[in-house]
Structure 1
């Protein structure tokens, strides 16, 4: 992925705008108030990690398990765009959470921040906003926002989401082609109320590094056909690394009831050769140099889907992410507990999905998967191995006053051998997530 490729895409957009964009989104704008929306998402989450084989909760220093639960609300407002050649709009967000259960002895699941005494906060909240402008089918947004780029993605796996601050431009001037570019200057973690609260790589003494300074991101995705799409992305995180991403996704329809899907994802991450950067899992290397890819094949027949996936990590160390968002890992074997991205790791996945709509219960689904990883290079401890089994059930109410209310039960069992036990302790992970999205406006 060379810079020249991005320039060529940009030129193609400039040359093709007048030819292909007949009626733009801005031409169809109804107005600032007329197109506004106000949504409230309420979430309850219970999380328990029960450690095995004598492992303890290293976060609190107590043996046994981590357990807590809480309730959160996320209110998001999006205005429409004013009419005219250049449309103007505003977005805003307000979020908060309250602790229902969980003490200092069992903290560490990432649902709450800790106060000065080391106890989980009883409540927390934050607000943010952004201004936005639209010309034709190109939107520029500046301020606090959620981002879903494969090289910079805000995480929403706990009670509150991460929030990024910066500028993002998204363009859809040519049918099937989406371009994006952005610069972000801070990232607030899920339990952090400050604008720049995410941690960085540890330094050579093992101390936590500074958070995100600046990250530039670029992306392009194109639908070649209705069944074949491709994407490229790149990022440059100051003081950390440059990251490149590619995706190819192809669906082969067999008949009305059957199809095959192939999904390839690949990353190349290269960090600066600085002595104060060490590998995230402590294998003694400096800087970041990693290649990571996965290939998944899924066969769907009626209510059933069967998936096989293979994933490989290579280079001087493991794949690293976090300072660029805790969801910046778009690969097949990134699952409930482990990502299977250790140094030189090879992993296989087998997965089964069932949609009960075919059997008269719309909204009910089941999933189970098993991933096994080996060939992990450790710091003189021999070959690392790990495996994880997941099971999940979800039900979404389809109609009535509680329409879209969902109940999701997730279970994971993770195990690793002695050579890799420092990555994550053996544990059983149980989560219950109840979510209710409400469209107010």
Structure 2
């Protein structure tokens, strides 16, 4: 790939900057710098039970991050740079689907041997307000979530402002114009599921208000030009119930509507093959509630999500078809701010009513700190589908085990094992079983 030489230059430059940073008790560009090298190695297996090809692949990625502090003065300036290289280890003959959902493909449809990318963010700070411009954003906001479910994170390019001038209130606003997916060097414009034309204008603004130490209120507005407008309201409350006990309430509401050319050829929305009252147009209201009771090392969760029946839930989703061309560049695959964004399915089709629950346990209570496990179950029904009317159902069962070494030379080395079983009735997803084995390690220079 053409960017591998750039990646090397960025890594060497960052290491040089770090090595020559002056030791000082003062805050400054070099004094507050952070530099890390992280590695993720991942096995991804997907057994397709509906006649499609199975997938079994493994790969490793090495990423360098350098984050400077800010120069001194009324206006402080800084720079963040990052570079990564990903290497395909083994796919097994015939087990690399040509869709780029895990690793990019060569011209013959086989997995590329390696790929890389590099980028950065210029930042400026005045008081408690920070402006950032660049192409390595990984937002985690109610109206936009960067997916980290594969080998590397999805990146966005544009500009963002974060302000904390008022105690307890965090305001975020920005404009983004492109995305680099979880398995690609090449950025593309922004779209939704079913859209074949780029939008280079995603604008958003909103805030998180920590009313008390136990209560947070949220409001955000987002607009993807020519696709959709979206309002979000959220409430998070934690009620202490005594020693090692609490009850958490998390409420979310989305109201999404059509914008500009949405519904026209090239700008149509198609959520998982789902029904829409006005075909191709965004028209949705989705609410969800999750309640978690924590008792010592135990956490019990129950919740419900309701998707209105005029159309499916909408979120930023580039897919692999843009401007009418099928491009398995690895830009497919996204995440969104929903309790039902599970390991395999999303449970977000028009009319779908989903009940879900989870049990999690922290083995620190048994003297094994760093070991955690969870099992979740989701069941959705009443989903509408253009291919067969309404009242379709689906379910998913996910199991997850995490362990992070707490002491010794490998302190911080983490292992995650995930397994998901999905079954559906006339669903856009094939019945499948997924397994992911992930190893993570980060070394900090500063």
Range of TM-score over shorter length: 0.7 to 0.9
Task: Give the Å deviation of 1:160.
Answer: 1.6
Matched with 1:5 is: none
RMSD over aligned Cα, in angstroms? Answer: 1.9
Alignment of 1:19-418 (within 5 A): 30-52=27-49, 55-57=50-52, 62=53, 65-103=54-92, 105-108=94-97, 110-144=101-135, 145-196=137-188, 200-202=192-194, 209-272=196-259, 273-276=262-265, 277-282=268-273, 283=275, 285-323=279-317, 327-379=334-386, 381-382=388-389, 383-417=391-425
Matched with 2:13 is: none
Moved more, 123-132 or 155-164: 155-164
CA distance in 2, matches of 1:29, 1:312: 52
Matched with 1:425 is: 430
CA distance in 1, matches of 2:334, 2:244: 33
**With structure 2 as the length reference, what TM-score do the two structures score?**
0.85
CA distance in 1, matches of 2:296, 2:144: 35
**With structure 1 as the length reference, what TM-score do the two structures score?**
0.86
Moved more, 277-286 or 97-106: 277-286
CA distance in 2, matches of 1:193, 1:200: 20
Task: Give the Å deviation of 1:44.
Answer: 0.7
CA distance in 2, matches of 1:196, 1:104: 30
Task: Give the Å deviation of 1:225.
Answer: 0.8
Pair 29,323 (structure 1): closer, same or farther in 2 beyond 3 Å: farther
Moved more, 148-157 or 363-372: 148-157
Pair 301,251 (structure 1): closer, same or farther in 2 beyond 3 Å: same
8 Å Cα contact 1:149/1:219 also seen in 2: no
The SS at the match of 2:105 is coil
CA distance in 1, matches of 2:431, 2:317: 26
- Count of equivalent residues: 398
Query: Structure 1 runs of 4+ off > 4 angstroms?
Result: 197-201, 324-328
CA distance in 2, matches of 1:438, 1:210: 41
8 Å Cα contact 2:284/2:311 also seen in 1: yes
CA distance in 2, matches of 1:211, 1:401: 47
Instruction: For residues 88-123 of structure 1, give each alpha carbon's deviation from its aligned partner in whole angstroms, at most 9, with x where no partner exists.
Output: 101101011000111572224722111111111110
Task: Give the Å deviation of 1:202.
Answer: 3.1
Unaligned residue ranges in structure 2 (runs of 5+):
1-24, 319-331
Instruction: For residues 262-301 of structure 1, give each alpha carbon's deviation from its aligned partner in whole angstroms, at most 9, with x where no partner exists.
Output: 1011212212353221423333612111111210111111
